[in-house]
Amino acid sequence: MVALGNPKVDIKHGDEDHLDDDINSLKILGLNAPIQDYDALLSFGATLSLGQIQPMKYHPPARITHNEYIIHNADQVAIRFLILFNG
């Protein structure tokens, strides 16, 4: 589980423009993302995405395949569960 705090959402992957004092993390939008209609809200407030992957359209286009989350403070991370998918 990651405490994103006050995230900046962007489509480009660059370290130079999200280091403001009021920004705690960065969410970079990717070309694909799960359909949010099937998200499961867990009892402790986290969201688990269960939907099919769908292509996303942004202008300018995203540069990475899937969403990426970047945090700069390790204190914002706590491993709550580990899931292994065998496919």
> In angstroms, rounded to a whole number, what is the distance separating the alpha carbons of residues 80 and 38?
21
Range of the domain at 12: 7-76
pLDDT of 55: 94
> In angstroms, rounded to a whole number, what is the distance separating the alpha carbons of residues 38 and 15?
32
Kindly report the backbone phi and psi dihedral angles of residue 16, in degrees, each rounded to the nearest multiple of 5, phi listed first: -75, -20
pTM: 0.66
User: Does residue 58 lie within any of the structural domains?
Assistant: yes
User: Does residue 69 lie within any of the structural domains?
Assistant: yes
pLDDT of 18: 57
Please count the helices (runs of H) and the strands (runs of E) in the chain. Answer: 0, 7
DSSP 61: P
User: Does residue 57 lie within any of the structural domains?
Assistant: yes
> What is the chain's pLDDT, residue by residue, as a tens digit (87 residues)?
456 778 888 877 655 555 677 888 888 888 998 998 999 988 877 788 888 999 998 888 888 898 888 887 888 887 777 777 776
The tally of domains found in the chain comes to 1
